[in-house]
Amino acid sequence: MSVGEYRANLNGLNMFFGAVLGFVLTGTEQLNSWQFALVLAMLAGVVVSILYISSSRDRVAYSICTVLLALILPKVLDILLEGHGVVPDKVQPTLLVWTFATIVVEFWSREDDQSTQA
């Protein structure tokens, strides 16, 4: 894949899954403001971790960390918010598919960026 295709893939994934995540969160209207803020903060952490997969030298570490975060997020939020099913059930698969798609794009072979070579 070319450098342009790589960037297009990541930009497309991030825009698409950001929108999907917003849609999936429509099940959180029963939360009070503090509960919703906690859900947003924890989701933001997972999303930043997804973005770090393609922006860090530690791609493998962030890949593993992000998968683990996406897997445990609903359970951790249930414990912290003292509820069951507080997070909509579609949040976890959204985060996991976004993570795995980012990992595939990141580790797919790419052409060298000719503009950085002298």
pTM for the predicted model, two decimal places: 0.84
Domain count for the chain, please give it: 1
Please give the pLDDT value at position 70. 95
Indicate whether 100 belongs to any domain: yes
Q: Is 15 part of any domain? A: yes
What is the domain extent for residue 100? 3-109
Distance in angstroms (rounded) separating the CA atoms of residues 117 and 83: 55
Q: Determine the straight-line distance between the first and last CA of the chain, rounded to whole angstroms.
A: 21
In a domain, 30, yes or no: yes
User: What DSSP state is assigned to residue 106?
Assistant: H
Q: pLDDT above 90 covers what percent of the chain?
A: 45
* pLDDT at 114 > cutoff 70: no
Establish if 118 belongs to a structural domain.
no
Q: Residues 61-70: pLDDT tens digits? A: 999 999 999 9
